[in-house]
A = this chain, B = another copy of it.
Amino acid sequence: MVGERTGVWLIGARGSVATTVIAGAAAVTAGLHPPTGMVTATEPFADCPLPPVDSLVFGGHDPAPTPLPKRAEELVVSGALPPGLPAGVRAELAAADESVRPGTEPADPRGEERLVSALAEDMTAFGQTHRLDRTVVVNLASTEAAPLGAELPPSSRYAAAALRAGCAYVNFTPSTGLHHPKVRHAALDSGLPYAGRDGKTGQTLLRSVLAPMFARRALDVRAWSGTNLLGGGDGAALTDPGAAAAKNAGKERVLAEELGQLPEGEVHIDDVPALGDWKTAWDHVAFDGFLGSRMMLQTIWQGCDSALAAPLVLDLVRLVARAHQLGVAGPVTGLGFYFKDPDTGSSALSEQWRDLLALGERLREPA
């Protein structure tokens, strides 16, 4: 895909993850940082014709007013970006910020149809302005509660707009997106590739290797409990019980699938603003061994969610853009590695890794 220009349209373009994606792509392009965490930059993908990071052009929707260069400074203070980085990539952040449009909010007074059209026009205009060969829309907005009525939730409006604008689509959140009944069929009929949902960055990543370990060793997992402490916008969004329920469903799926049944135990997500963009996730697994011996594993994961998510977003953009170029339609198989709630495939990370390598092979074939 050398010579082509790929647009990246981020829903939630001024959030922590999006800011890290844009700043990080610029930093990697400038050689300021290695592409740590980008799986598509590792050896198994070396000769896969994915769009280079320096060919990505960023824009997106976000009603938040703080421009990207200022957001990046804030992320330095909260420890999510390294000191000095915003100054080094200020031009790229400012350029992307010029392509940010306000989009929509839950109580948008415009009718659904007019709204989707307006959002799609923003995406189309972005492609025209920057003479892009294609655009991948990525949902990075705060998690929303599962919708109750027939009305499209915001995530599905953006997803419908992406289809209408002929863009590939990635849902990195647990929100509804293309899973809404009013959109699902259009997605299948669109001829466009899409992927989702709910990026697997921390606690669920761990669970996707630990649960298979217990299962394969024939150990009897009795209870799996977890508490997540997080600040930042994500923590606040997840104080909404509906949003938290949507998030937790993905976390439990891997346990139920890998262990054969859902063990005892709950998952808590607490908003702790003092932690800023950093997260602590504690997991406690009670399992029985031989002759009923009671054992325990505890894990403590301390990470910066936006730094964990951003390279995965860049990976997904590159892979889905290439799929789009090859004319792949419907859910792109082989991306379960990235998601808590993938459209297809196993929930064990080792199987997902195998599937991803197989996808890499398919994307290597000539268009």
Complex CA gap A20/B301 in Å reads 29
Across the interface, name the chain B residue whose C-beta is closest to A308: B289
Given contacts A209-B210, A288-B36, A298-B300, contact A293 B80 (CB under 8 A): yes
**Which of B217, B282, B291 lies in contact with A82, CB distance below 8 A?**
B291
Contact call B33/A292, Cβ cutoff below 8 A: yes
List the B side residues contacting A225 at CB < 8 Å: 227, 229, 270, 272
Complex CA gap A287/B41 in Å reads 18
Complex CA gap A292/B265 in Å reads 29
- Least Cβ–Cβ distance between A24 and chain B, in angstroms: 6
- Least Cβ–Cβ distance between A225 and chain B, in angstroms: 5
Scoring A residues 10 to 27 as 1 if CB is less than 8 Å from chain B, else 0, what string do you get? 000000000010011001
Contact call A303/B282, Cβ cutoff below 8 A: no
Determine whether A302 belongs to the interface, using a CB cutoff of 8 Å to chain B. Answer: yes
Determine whether A50 belongs to the interface, using a CB cutoff of 8 Å to chain B. Answer: no
- Least Cβ–Cβ distance between A76 and chain B, in angstroms: 6
Determine whether A284 belongs to the interface, using a CB cutoff of 8 Å to chain B. Answer: yes
Determine whether A91 belongs to the interface, using a CB cutoff of 8 Å to chain B. Answer: no
List the B side residues contacting A298 at CB < 8 Å: 280, 282, 299-300, 302
Scoring A residues 219 to 258 as 1 if CB is less than 8 Å from chain B, else 0, what string do you get? 1101101010100000000000000000000000000000
Show 15 residue pairs from A and B whose CB-CB distance is below 8 angstroms, ordered by the A residue. A37-B289, A39-B218, A82-B291, A209-B212, A223-B272, A227-B227, A229-B265, A229-B284, A265-B272, A266-B270, A289-B303, A290-B310, A296-B301, A296-B303, A297-B300
